[in-house]
């Protein structure tokens, strides 16, 4: 029997950082100010204080303290708070990849979807964003209104992936 | 030795099941068909049209006769093939389409009327006077169909999941297993799917010493060890574009209680390459009464003997046009049966018949006879002389048809194989290959049918005979597609798996053309029937979607409201008290807003933050009103147009800061607005320096409305609230909030936004303040009463995609500088012509006005409009409504009839302005 836990995490400061111009220069400024460059599509970068995940061509999800990010973006982008509308759900255990295939369309079982990678996809008709924390855990950013239903869905299908 | 089917070596029957309320025992691994045969049951079903007695013909998914209903209550599954159903303890199976019993079916009298039920019967009944049809419609509908769909909800669940692989192998016979093993050894990620409950396919019928059970097990283990995935009871039912396939996996047998609640799983599979090892289906032979119990396909007979240890008959005649059927003779003799003769329609053969079995060439069966339960006699033409045998089983083989369904679904062509007299997979443009018997079927020689065409059945499931095909031909049906629809050939659950080629051969014969020239019908998904619930998946009970829950759900739920679905959201419709009706509660709540204060949850409104130097520029493309002139801290009503100038949504726009705006729009149009904004931002004007972020769920929203709202809010925030259409930031109950002074109710009102995770204390504080002043929460019904009285339009009601700003009386707000989406569309002359439907108000001259009612002029005639929303004056009473009326703006004062035949309400109404309450907007202001 696979061990698998599904846990809603406490609210976190989440922001959308949208860059409309000069992304390369913003990345350089990011490296200089925060110690890491802007991550590419499907990837993440960050520090203890701030993590950036890139799900869209022009938008990065920023988790953590975005105060220093405003200066990095300067006139090339803007930050908008979105954390009130997102529930972070941690799916931990060996079966998390199989669980995310349930009702999904994204190949969460691919080895290339490795720790540090992220993806935006749809699971059972709900738009979610995924971030691989480590080999045994994945974080799902779920719209708040769907969180209860989607967590119920995940618990419901646990037997299908060999977990209880 | 008694006649009829039986178990070869009784023993080991540990599973108990019932068929038509009779209890039987079976071996684990038996199909229902095998178990029934083992118990000597020959009669299993009645045919669709003539209620002819039917037995078991095949041993796989192609079975057209032995359809049963399995399971009970909501779990019952009708029209399940007994050959594709593995018995389980307690299984309850029932026959179908028979009354009062399977043995004594009064419906069989229809067989006597068969001359009156020819091909195209249904079509012919549609001709003539309608009155005639009205007479026999009831009878036809009663007679139509086989099993009955359950009326209770299905208690089981259905799952869907995605999967990816390098190589998908469909079919786990010897060719499929070898292909899967080879692909896995080469490093590919392999999936091997098999619709049966065991691997091996034809090896269970025709053992191969090199591919024995140990080889099968070792191969499966090796594939799994190399990371491959093997799925049993899984059918590749659909093959779509780009090597996308749908697999239906049975997690429990039909009618059985699933171990974890899930009955089936639908796999959405994307494969790099597909290998089809789908095998062949044996063709029956047409002759008189070829549908009787005891006439079986020769390969199926072999399967029952060797796989299930069941002997379908003791005295057997075999009729064939190919060598393969000779192997059935060998299997039967091994099992102790007596093979009376092999009737080979060919003039000679090199096939070896078992010792002592006479082979008669140029021999074709002409008819069989027996009881409803059992065969007793087989008659054939042997070199044009009639000869008969006393036999309880006739095993037939008219050749083999490759299972090319998936190949064709994939867009592949079929080639004619003259030697096999069958279509085989040809070229395909997808990365797909067919291997094994499906690519290289056993040669077979065509033979002209002997027997009476009327009783020589081609499509067993639909009771279509050779005579029906002949009649269709005589009546001019030349295209096989027309013939199919006229005769119902190849329809229903088996989709012609055993009948198509026999029918094509007859069509070709009648037209004096080759089979390929006669044509071919198209194979479409699904390959075998799929339960509807599987398509719906986990959301089968919830409109295939999850319920969206408000951030304030718990607080609402504690008040026990009547919940109302709104899209996928559920919102309080009204908070009924005591024995209040919904209407009474709504009116009480609305009056509270008019006289004191009320609060309601408006969190579901669409909300977007638009920021950046070009934010106003983008909004002036999306919104049809001016935006850039808004001062920071101010807001305004706005609406959006489609390219054709029709209003498609409305809301408010607020300037939060110099280069940051908040745009709100309707709940129901939220997703559409998000797409629209994305299109404008990313496609139309990607050069703009602007960010558009959907913050619908980030903020929970509470509307606080009523003559006391401003005073109460001032008490909560410690300062004067913003004036109408202004905004301010404040703190309520320790939570930072954004106050937008806007009104939907017609009263002084505020929309109060807090981060959704912190909104509950805000609601509690507002509710406490309101209730201290006699106010209360209000729901959607009260909101509807308030907005109708105020004359505010709603998307989906007055904004229905057919109305321009002018039609709705919004044209004075249009941005005169143009440049917005829809500006050019509005210039079309037709949009300014008189007689367009326009928004008006209606006052009842007595009685209620029905929502949706048609508006009829004094002289009757065609409807001139309809009621879009009906309500009542909240304080004074009296029915009022908003409506679309042709040329409505110029018809104020006119009296009309609002008639709703469906609601049975007809009311005289007067056309008035659509603003019934405070038209000057005095009450918005302090």
List pLDDT tens digits, range A40-52.
999 999 999 999 9
Residue pair B296/B394 in contact (Cβ under 8 Å)? The answer is: yes
* b/e sequence B839-850, b meaning 16+ C-beta within 10 Å: bbbbbbeeebbb
| Percent with pLDDT over 90 in chain B | 90
- List residues in chain A touching B: CB distance below 8 A: 11, 16, 18, 20-21, 58-59, 75, 77-78, 80-86, 101-107, 109-110, 124-126, 143-150, 153, 156-157, 159-160
List pLDDT tens digits, range B661-708.
999 999 999 999 999 999 999 999 999 999 999 999 999 999 999 999
Tell me how close the Cα of B568 comes to any Cα of chain A, in angstroms: 10
Same domain membership, residue B288 and residue B264: no
Residue B822, CA atoms < 13 Å, CB-side half-sphere:
27
> pLDDT confidence of B121, banded at 50, 70, 90?
confident
- Answer whether residue B547 is part of any domain: no
Q: Cβ neighbours of residue B545 under 8 Å, at least 6 residues apart?
A: A125, B539, B568
The pLDDT assigned to B128 comes to 73
> pLDDT confidence of A123, banded at 50, 70, 90?
very high
CB-based contact B262 A11, cutoff 8 Å: no
Q: For residue B698, give the nearest of A78, A81, A159 by CB distance.
A: A81
**Can you give the C-alpha Rg of chain B in angstroms?**
36
| Residue ending a domain, choose from B333, B363, B398 | B398
User: Cα(B856)–Cα(B867) distance, rounded to whole angstroms?
Assistant: 11
Task: Tell how strand B295-297 and strand B393-397 pair up.
Answer: parallel
The pLDDT assigned to B136 comes to 77
- In angstroms, the first-to-last Cα distance of chain A is 7
Residue B270, pLDDT above cutoff 80: yes
List pLDDT tens digits, range B731-762.
999 999 999 999 999 999 999 999 999 999 99
Residue B193, domain extent: 157-278
Query: H or E element: which one contains B857?
Result: strand B854-857
Domain boundaries, given as residue ranges, for chain A: 5-11+84-161, 14-83
List pLDDT tens digits, range B314-329.
999 999 999 999 999 9
Reference B316, options B338, B298, B300, B334; nearest CA is B338
- Answer whether residue B102 is part of any domain: no
Domain A5-11+84-161 class in CATH: alpha beta
* Neighbour count for residue B643 (Cβ, 10 Å): 11
| Residue ending a domain, choose from B668, B694, B720 | B694
Q: What is the mean pLDDT of residues A71-97?
A: 97
Residue pair B193/B234 in contact (Cβ under 8 Å)? The answer is: yes
Q: For residue A150, give the nearest of B546, B691, B697 by CB distance.
A: B546
- Answer whether residue B657 is part of any domain: yes
Residue pair B597/B778 in contact (Cβ under 8 Å)? The answer is: no
Q: What is the mean pLDDT of residues B266-277?
A: 98
Task: Tell how strand B735-740 and strand B749-755 pair up.
Answer: antiparallel
What's the distance, CA B367 to chain centroid? 43
Q: Cβ neighbours of residue B751 under 8 Å, at least 6 residues apart?
A: B602, B664, B701, B702, B703, B704, B739, B740, B742
Q: What is the mean pLDDT of residues B115-142?
A: 77
The pLDDT assigned to B336 comes to 97
> pLDDT confidence of B546, banded at 50, 70, 90?
confident
Same domain membership, residue B704 and residue B595: yes
User: A14-83, what's its fold?
Assistant: Alpha-Beta Plaits (3.30.70)
Q: Which residues of B touch A80 (CB under 8 A)?
A: 609, 611, 691, 693, 695
| Percent with pLDDT over 70 in chain B | 99
What's the distance, CA B663 to chain centroid? 37
Tell me how close the Cα of A36 comes to any Cα of chain B, in angstroms: 23
Reference B263, options B531, B58, B570, B5; nearest CA is B531
User: Cα(B190)–Cα(B188) distance, rounded to whole angstroms?
Assistant: 6
Residue B538, CA atoms < 13 Å, CB-side half-sphere:
25
Q: Cβ neighbours of residue B2 under 8 Å, at least 6 residues apart?
A: B40, B314
The pLDDT assigned to B190 comes to 98
Residue B642, pLDDT above cutoff 60: yes
- Answer whether residue B770 is part of any domain: yes
List pLDDT tens digits, range B198-224.
999 999 999 999 999 999 999 999 999
The pLDDT assigned to B543 comes to 64
DSSP 8-state class, residue A85: G
Residue with the two structure tokens 């209040």: B580
Look up the CATH number of the domain holding residue B677.
3.30.70.1400
Look up the CATH number of the domain holding residue B571.
3.30.1360.120
User: Cα(B311)–Cα(B452) distance, rounded to whole angstroms?
Assistant: 29
In this prediction the pTM is: 0.93
Residue with the two structure tokens 């998000």: B674
Which segments of B391-533 are extended strands (E)? 393-397, 400-402, 414-417, 422-425, 432-434, 457-459, 464-465
Same domain membership, residue B669 and residue B611: yes
The pLDDT assigned to B689 comes to 98
What's the longest Cα–Cα distance across chain B? 111
- Answer whether residue B597 is part of any domain: yes
DSSP 8-state class, residue B456: B
* Neighbour count for residue A112 (Cβ, 10 Å): 7
Residue B1, pLDDT above cutoff 50: no
List pLDDT tens digits, range B417-474.
999 999 999 999 999 999 999 999 999 999 999 999 999 999 999 999 999 999 999 9
Residue from A55, A59, A82, A108 to probe the interface with B (highest B Cβ count within 10 Å): A82
Same domain membership, residue B720 and residue B598: yes
Residue B51, pLDDT above cutoff 80: yes
Same domain membership, residue B756 and residue B664: no
Look up the CATH number of the domain holding residue B319.
3.50.50.60
Same domain membership, residue B703 and residue B619: no
Size of interface A-B (CB pairs under 8 A): 124
Left if phi > 0, otherwise alpha if psi is -120 to 50, otherwise beta: which for B584?
A: alpha
The pLDDT assigned to B94 comes to 98
| Residue ending a domain, choose from B655, B674, B694 | B694
Least confident of B51-60, B267-276, B540-549, B717-726: B540-549
Number of domains in chain B: 5
* Neighbour count for residue B503 (Cβ, 10 Å): 26
Residue B650, pLDDT above cutoff 60: yes
Mean pLDDT of chain B: 95
Q: For residue A160, give the nearest of B265, B689, B692 by CB distance.
A: B265
Q: Cβ neighbours of residue B649 under 8 Å, at least 6 residues apart?
A: B639, B640, B665, B666, B669, B672, B673, B795, B799
Q: Is the peptide bond before B526 cis (omega within 30 degrees of 0)?
A: yes
Residue pair B866/B852 in contact (Cβ under 8 Å)? The answer is: yes
The alpha-helical segments, DSSP class H, found in B773-862 are 780-790
Same domain membership, residue B704 and residue B717: yes
User: Cα(B581)–Cα(B603) distance, rounded to whole angstroms?
Assistant: 26
The pLDDT assigned to A2 comes to 76
The pLDDT assigned to B378 comes to 98
- Answer whether residue B862 is part of any domain: yes
Residue B83, CA atoms < 13 Å, CB-side half-sphere:
22
Residue pair B178/B98 in contact (Cβ under 8 Å)? The answer is: no
Residue from A157, A158, A161, A163 to probe the interface with B (highest B Cβ count within 10 Å): A157
- Answer whether residue B91 is part of any domain: no
Same domain membership, residue B759 and residue B650: no
Instruction: Name the residue in chain B with its Cα closest to that of A57.
Output: B682
Query: H or E element: which one contains B109?
Result: helix B109-112
List pLDDT tens digits, range B681-693.
999 999 999 999 9
Same domain membership, residue B191 and residue B312: no
Instruction: Name the residue in chain A with its Cα closest to that of B690.
Output: A20
> pLDDT confidence of B541, banded at 50, 70, 90?
low
User: Cα(B771)–Cα(B764) distance, rounded to whole angstroms?
Assistant: 10
Reduced to 3 states (helix: H, G, I; strand: E, B; else coil), residue B527 is coil
Q: Cβ neighbours of residue B553 under 8 Å, at least 6 residues apart?
A: none
B570: phi then psi, degrees, rounded to nearest 5? -125, 125
Tell me how close the Cα of B481 comes to any Cα of chain A, in angstroms: 36
| Percent with pLDDT over 70 in chain A | 99
List pLDDT tens digits, range A137-147.
999 999 999 99
DSSP 8-state class, residue B637: E
Same domain membership, residue B768 and residue B640: no
The pLDDT assigned to B157 comes to 94
Complex ipTM: 0.97
Left if phi > 0, otherwise alpha if psi is -120 to 50, otherwise beta: which for A87?
A: beta
Residue from A15, A74, A84, A128 to probe the interface with B (highest B Cβ count within 10 Å): A84
Same domain membership, residue B363 and residue B233: no
Same domain membership, residue B597 and residue B706: yes
């Amino acid at each position: 029997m696979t061990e698998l836990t599904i846990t809603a995490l406490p609210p976190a400061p989440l922001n959308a950082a949208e860059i409309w111009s000069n992304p390369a220069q913003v990345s350089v400024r990011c490296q200089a100010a925060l110690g890491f460059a802007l991550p590419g599509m499907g990837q993440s970068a960050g520090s203890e204080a701030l993590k950036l995940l890139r799900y869209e061509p022009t938008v990065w999800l920023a988790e953590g303290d975005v105060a220093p990010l405003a200066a990095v973006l300067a006139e090339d982008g803007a930050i908008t708070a979105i954390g009130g509308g997102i529930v972070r759900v941690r799916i931990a255990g060996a079966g998390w990849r199989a669980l995310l295939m349930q009702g999904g369309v994204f190949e969460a079982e691919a080895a290339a979807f490795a720790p540090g990678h992220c993806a935006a996809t749809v699971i059972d008709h709900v738009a979610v964003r995924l971030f691989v924390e480590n080999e045994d855990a994945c974080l799902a950013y779920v719209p708040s209104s769907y969180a209860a239903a989607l967590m119920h869905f995940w618990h419901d299908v646990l037997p299908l992936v060999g977990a209880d | 030795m008694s006649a009829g089917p039986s178990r070869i070596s009784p023993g080991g029957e540990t599973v108990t099941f019932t068929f038509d309320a009779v209890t039987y025992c079976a071996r684990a691994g038996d199909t229902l068909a095998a178990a029934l045969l083992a118990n000597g049951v020959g009669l299993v079903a009645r045919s669709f049209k003539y209620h002819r007695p039917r037995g078991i013909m095949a041993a796989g998914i192609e079975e057209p006769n032995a359809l049963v209903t399995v399971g009970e209550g909501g779990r019952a599954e009708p029209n399940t093939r007994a050959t594709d159903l593995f018995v389980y303890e307690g299984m309850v199976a029932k026959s179908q389409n028979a009354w009062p019993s399977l043995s004594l079916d009064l419906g069989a009298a229809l067989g006597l009327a068969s001359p009156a039920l020819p091909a195209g019967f249904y079509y012919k009944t549609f001709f003539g006077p309608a009155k005639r049809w009205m007479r026999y419609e009831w009878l036809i509908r009663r007679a139509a169909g086989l099993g009955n769909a359950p009326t209770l909800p299905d208690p089981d669940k259905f799952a869907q999941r995605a999967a990816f692989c390098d190589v998908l192998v469909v079919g786990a016979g010897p060719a499929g297993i070898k292909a899967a093993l080879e692909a896995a050894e080469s490093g590919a990620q392999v999936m091997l799917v098999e619709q049966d409950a065991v691997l091996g396919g034809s090896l269970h019928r025709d053992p191969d010493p090199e591919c024995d059970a140990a080889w099968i097990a070792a191969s499966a283990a090796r594939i799994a060890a190399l990371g491959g995935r093997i799925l049993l009871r899984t059918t590749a039912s659909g093959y779509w574009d780009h090597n996308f396939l749908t697999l239906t996996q049975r997690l429990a047998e039909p009618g059985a209680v699933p171990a974890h609640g899930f009955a089936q799983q639908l796999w959405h599979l994307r494969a790099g390459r597909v290998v089809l090892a789908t095998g062949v289906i044996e063709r029956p032979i047409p002759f008189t009464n070829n549908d009787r119990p005891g006439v079986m396909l020769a390969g199926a007979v072999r399967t029952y003997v060797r796989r299930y240890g069941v002997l379908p008959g003791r005295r057997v005649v075999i009729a064939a046009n190919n060598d393969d059927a000779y192997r059935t003779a060998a299997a039967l003799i091994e099992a102790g049966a007596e093979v009376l003769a092999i009737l080979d329609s060919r003039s000679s053969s090199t096939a070896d018949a078992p010792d002592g079995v006479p082979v008669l060439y140029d021999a074709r069966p002409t008819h069989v006879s027996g009881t409803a339960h059992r065969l007793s006699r087989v008659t054939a033409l042997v070199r044009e002389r009639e000869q008969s045998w006393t036999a309880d089983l006739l095993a037939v083989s008219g050749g083999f048809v490759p299972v090319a369904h998936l190949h064709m679904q994939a867009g592949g062509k079929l080639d004619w194989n003259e030697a096999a007299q069958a279509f085989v997979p040809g070229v395909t443009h997808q990365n797909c290959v067919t291997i094994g018997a499906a690519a290289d079927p056993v040669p077979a020689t065509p033979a002209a049918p002997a027997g009476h065409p009327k009783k020589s059945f081609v499509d067993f499931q639909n009771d279509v005979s050779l005579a029906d095909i002949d009649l269709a031909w005589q009546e001019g049906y030349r295209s096989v597609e027309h013939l199919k629809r006229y005769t119902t050939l190849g329809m229903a659950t088996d989709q012609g798996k055993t009948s198509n080629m026999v029918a094509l051969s007859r069509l070709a014969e009648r037209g004096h053309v080759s089979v390929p020239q006669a044509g071919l019908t198209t194979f479409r998904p699904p390959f075998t029937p799929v339960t509807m619930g599987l398509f719906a998946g986990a959301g089968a009970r919830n409109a295939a979607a999850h319920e969206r829950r408000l951030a304030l759900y718990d607080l609402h739920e504690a008040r026990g409201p009547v919940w109302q679905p709104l899209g996928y959201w559920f919102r309080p419709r009204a908070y009924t008290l005591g024995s209040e009706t919904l209407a009474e509660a709504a009116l009480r709540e609305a009056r509270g807003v008019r006289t004191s204060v009320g609060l309601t949850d408006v969190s579901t409104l669409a909300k977007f933050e638009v920021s950046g130097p070009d934010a106003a520029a983008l909004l002036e493309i999306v919104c049809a009103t001016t935006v850039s002139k808004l001062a920071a801290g101010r807001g305004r009503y706005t609406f959006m147009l489609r390219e054709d100038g029709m209003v498609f949504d409305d809301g408010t726009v607020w300037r939060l800061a110099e280069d940051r705006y908040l745009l709100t729009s309707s709940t129901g149009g939220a997703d559409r607005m998000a797409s629209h904004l994305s299109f404008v931002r990313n496609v139309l004007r990607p050069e703009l320096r602007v960010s558009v972020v959907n913050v619908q769920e980030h903020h929970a929203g509470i509307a606080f409305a009523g003559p006391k709202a401003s005073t109460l809010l001032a008490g909560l925030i410690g300062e004067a609230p913003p004036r109408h259409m202004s905004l301010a930031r404040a703190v309520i109950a320790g939570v930072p909030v954004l106050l937008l002074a806007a009104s939907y109710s017609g009263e002084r009102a505020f929309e109060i936004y807090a981060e959704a995770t912190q909104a509950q204390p805000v609601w509690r504080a507002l509710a406490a303040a309101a209730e201290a002043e006699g106010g209360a929460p209000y729901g959607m019904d009260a909101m509807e009463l308030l907005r109708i009285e105020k004359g505010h339009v709603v998307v989906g009601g007055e904004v229905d995609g057919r109305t321009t700003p002018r039609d709705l009386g919004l044209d004075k707000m249009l941005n005169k500088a143009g440049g917005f989406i829809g500006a050019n569309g509005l210039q079309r002359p037709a949009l300014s012509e008189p007689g367009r439907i326009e928004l008006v108000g209606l006052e009842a001259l007595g009685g209620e006005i029905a929502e949706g009612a048609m508006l009829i002029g004094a002289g009757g005639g065609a409807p001139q409009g309809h009621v879009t929303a009906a309500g009542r004056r909240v304080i004074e009473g009296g029915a009022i409504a908003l409506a679309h009326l042709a040329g409505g703006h110029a018809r104020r004062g006119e009296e009309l009839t609002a008639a709703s035949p469906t609601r049975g309400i007809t009311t005289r109404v007067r056309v008035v302005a659509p603003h019934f309450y405070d038209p000057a907007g005095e009450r918005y202001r302090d």
